[in-house]
Amino acid sequence: MEIGREVKIVEVGPRDGLQAESDIVPTKVKIELIDRLTRAGFANIEAASFVSPRWVPQMADGPAVMAGISRNESTVYSALVPNLKGLEHALESQVDEIVVFGAASEAFSQRNINCSIEESVSRFLDVVRMAKARGLRVRGSISCCFGCPYQGDVPVNSVADMVRRFAELGCDEIDLADTIGVGTAKQVGRVVAAASREFPTTQIAGHFHDTYGQALANIVSAYDAGLRIFGCPFAKGATGNVATEDVLYLMRGMGVETGIDLDTVVDAASFISSAIARPSSSRAGRALLAKRTAA
Amino acid sequence: MEIGREVKIVEVGPRDGLQAESDIVPTKVKIELIDRLTRAGFANIEAASFVSPRWVPQMADGPAVMAGISRNESTVYSALVPNLKGLEHALESQVDEIVVFGAASEAFSQRNINCSIEESVSRFLDVVRMAKARGLRVRGSISCCFGCPYQGDVPVNSVADMVRRFAELGCDEIDLADTIGVGTAKQVGRVVAAASREFPTTQIAGHFHDTYGQALANIVSAYDAGLRIFGCPFAKGATGNVATEDVLYLMRGMGVETGIDLDTVVDAASFISSAIARPSSSRAGRALLAKRTAA
């Protein structure tokens, strides 16, 4: 963590955000977007996904995107990596960090990753070992930490178990993700406390979705429980993820330094909203743009 | 507060929500809406406004609305009252509670109420005295407790001063309203603490707007600071107020009893959204409706 930066925001828009778009976004638009986010001051940008292009055609140009961006030395550029093949592409593209993933829900793991939680972790053993040997950071992302679309409730112990597994695997940072946005404030406090018993609190990130409008309340609760890393995408019209702008507005109001310039993020969001022809879903983003127009 | 009801939600949709609609909503639609909200279990519904019809034509049918609704004995029906003339209408309509209003910002008071804060309070002296003499509850609503569109920051002391004035006036309940939705979580804790030094915490209500997406985070912060009354309207497509559905989803998740049936509120919101041809702005409302459709 840099001096003066109390909270780290992981901007996942170029990957998690654009991935959901059905029309292919041109490579040069992705590059300009990432460059704008770099200039805004993000310490970590999720820039690509090296899954099979047959799974996610939108992410097929990962190597070209990584080759085209203007890097900032103090920014970590991450990519999702599902296997050794993906790691190979990640190494060729010189990403700084890979993201491996699993779920706290057995039902979700079976349905979405086609294997048990146990198997999903063991599949990453070689990937993580090799990535670490090559000097890459590794982030482990855990889906369904606050509820599952298939099994409903997810016990706090299941989350803690998964955190321990990713810790043992050698992850440098671990995400607790509310994949379907069903978590609420007090629950977040309990889950973070349980995860903190397995892994250093300052290396745990909260990724909250706004499906039920709860994301910011959950972030405040997670902050109060000690989390200092939050993952979110600038708004791009899709519901689900909480908008980075709203999180930055919150942090600014709380007097918490993020090192990120909110106005530059609002501009980046305007750029991509117009490039992909979608209105912004960020309330703070819309309000700030309206104020500019009025001024 | 009833036994088993830990948090009271004041549903302000029929007044604060519909007031912003430019097309006049038919009286019978307003009546059906309030009846649906009564059946949902709200302990307090803001049902009318007895301001001059020249100011707010939408609210001109207040007496007809109050005469037409099916009242529940344990529900408090409130109306906004600006002066003695308004109180007269309120008494004729047998409202249970009147709402008087002021601002914590001198600039806002001058521009929106056309007088100083001092004058605005003294104008309500006779209104409140007469209302109390006739057995009505009185709620004092304070605008701009977390920021002002004209003067910007509002000192915590200004809020505390206004709470003290409304307390001395004899109010039974006092609202802290974030009129322009600029407040953030830690600030809310400080303002509530200051207000609590002037008036019993359990009789203070938080009214938060979602202009910058902060409302639910602010509600959690206010709840942690001791507030147990929250005012909000079911979503009706307009940005600004936080949606009741999102608040109810939060409270249910926190295990806090409100006595209100969320599904009935979602139905009431669907009813009014279709009656006034506006999509719902509630994220929880939309998500719950989508789940029903999928089921």
The DSSP element (H or E) to which A204 belongs, if any, is strand A204-207
Which residues of B are tagged catalytic? 232
Q: Identify the burial level of B54 via C-beta atoms within 10 angstroms of its C-beta, where 0-12 means exposed, 13-18 middle and 19 or more buried.
A: exposed
Q: What is the pLDDT of residue A249?
A: 92
CA-atom Rg of chain B in angstroms: 18
CATH numbers and ranges of domains, chain B: 8-294 (3.20.20.70)
- From A217, which residue of chain B is nearest by alpha-carbon distance? B217
Between A and B, how many CB-CB pairs are < 8 A? 95
Judge whether residue A131 has pLDDT over 50: yes
Across the strands, what pairs with B79?
A: B48, B98
CB B117 within 8 A of CB B67: no
Q: How many CB atoms lie within 10 A of CB B174?
A: 25
Percent of chain B with pLDDT over 70: 95
> Half-sphere exposure of residue A216, counting CA atoms within 13 Å on the CB side?
34
- From B180, which residue of chain A is nearest by alpha-carbon distance? A287
- Identify the residue whose tokens are 């020249």: B54
Percent of chain A with pLDDT over 90: 69
- Judged by a CB distance cut-off of 8 A, whether residue B152 touches chain A is no
Residue B107 φ/ψ, nearest 5 degrees: -65, -40
How far is Cα of residue A24 from the mean position of the Cα atoms in its chain?
21
Q: What is the pLDDT of residue A234?
A: 67
What confidence tier does B235 reach under pLDDT thresholds 50, 70, 90?
low
Q: What is the pLDDT of residue B196?
A: 98
**A253–B187 C-beta distance less than 8 A:** yes
pLDDT digits (tens, 9 = 90+) for A284-295: 777 887 777 776
Q: What is the pLDDT of residue A284?
A: 79
pLDDT digits (tens, 9 = 90+) for A213-262: 899 999 999 999 999 999 887 655 444 567 888 899 999 999 999 999 99
Q: Which of A145, A148, A171, A232 is catalytic?
A: A232
What confidence tier does B1 reach under pLDDT thresholds 50, 70, 90?
very low
Q: What is the pLDDT of residue A56?
A: 87
Instruction: Compare CB distances from A212 to B185, B220, B249 and report the shortest one's residue.
Output: B249
Q: What is the pLDDT of residue A235?
A: 57
Q: Which residue has the higher pLDDT, A20 or B208?
A: B208
What's the CA gap between B58 and A201, in Å, rounded?
53
- What are the start-end ranges of the E strands in B161-222? 173-177, 204-207
Range scoring the smallest mean pLDDT among A77-91, A128-142, B46-60, B121-135: B46-60
Q: What is the pLDDT of residue A1?
A: 40
Judge whether residue A210 has pLDDT over 80: yes
Region B94-121: mean pLDDT is 94
What's the CA gap between B123 and B126, in Å, rounded?
7
Region A117-145: mean pLDDT is 96
Residues 6+ apart with CB under 8 A from A181: A208, A209, A210, A211, A212, A214, A215, A240, B287
- Identify the residue whose tokens are 């003290």: B164
Q: Which residue has the higher pLDDT, A236 or B137?
A: B137
Q: What is the pLDDT of residue A240?
A: 59
**B219–A220 C-beta distance less than 8 A:** no
Region B46-59: mean pLDDT is 90
Residue B77 φ/ψ, nearest 5 degrees: -105, 125
Q: What is the pLDDT of residue A4?
A: 56
Q: How many CB atoms lie within 10 A of CB A256?
A: 16
Q: What is the pLDDT of residue A50?
A: 95
Region B192-212: mean pLDDT is 95
Which residues of chain B neighbour A253 with C-beta distances below 8 Å?
182-187, 214
What's the CA gap between B221 and B131, in Å, rounded?
33
* Helical residues (DSSP H) of A93-241, grouped into ranges: 106-108, 117-123, 125-133, 156-169, 185-196, 215-224
Q: What is the pLDDT of residue A182?
A: 92
What's the CA gap between B154 and B142, in Å, rounded?
12
Judge whether residue B257 has pLDDT over 90: yes
Per the structure block, which two tokens stand in for B235? Answer: 């979503």
Q: What is the pLDDT of residue A295?
A: 66
Which residues of chain A neighbour B281 with C-beta distances below 8 Å?
none
Percent of chain B with pLDDT over 90: 69
Percent of chain A with pLDDT over 70: 95
CB A217 within 8 A of CB B242: no
- Judged by a CB distance cut-off of 8 A, whether residue B39 touches chain A is no
Closest CA to B78 of B60, B64, B62: B62
- Judged by a CB distance cut-off of 8 A, whether residue A196 touches chain B is no
Range scoring the smallest mean pLDDT among B42-56, B94-108, B114-128, B232-246: B232-246
pLDDT digits (tens, 9 = 90+) for A12-48: 888 888 887 888 999 999 999 999 999 999 999 999 9
pLDDT digits (tens, 9 = 90+) for A167-202: 999 999 999 999 888 999 999 999 999 999 999 999
CB A217 within 8 A of CB B219: yes
Judge whether residue B203 has pLDDT over 70: yes
Q: How open is the CA angle A12-A155-A183, to the nearest 5 degrees?
A: 45
Q: How many residues does chain B have?
A: 295
pLDDT digits (tens, 9 = 90+) for B67-88: 999 999 999 999 999 999 999 9
The letter for the amino acid at B252 is: R
Round the average pLDDT of chain A to a whole number and report it: 90
- From B285, which residue of chain A is nearest by alpha-carbon distance? A212
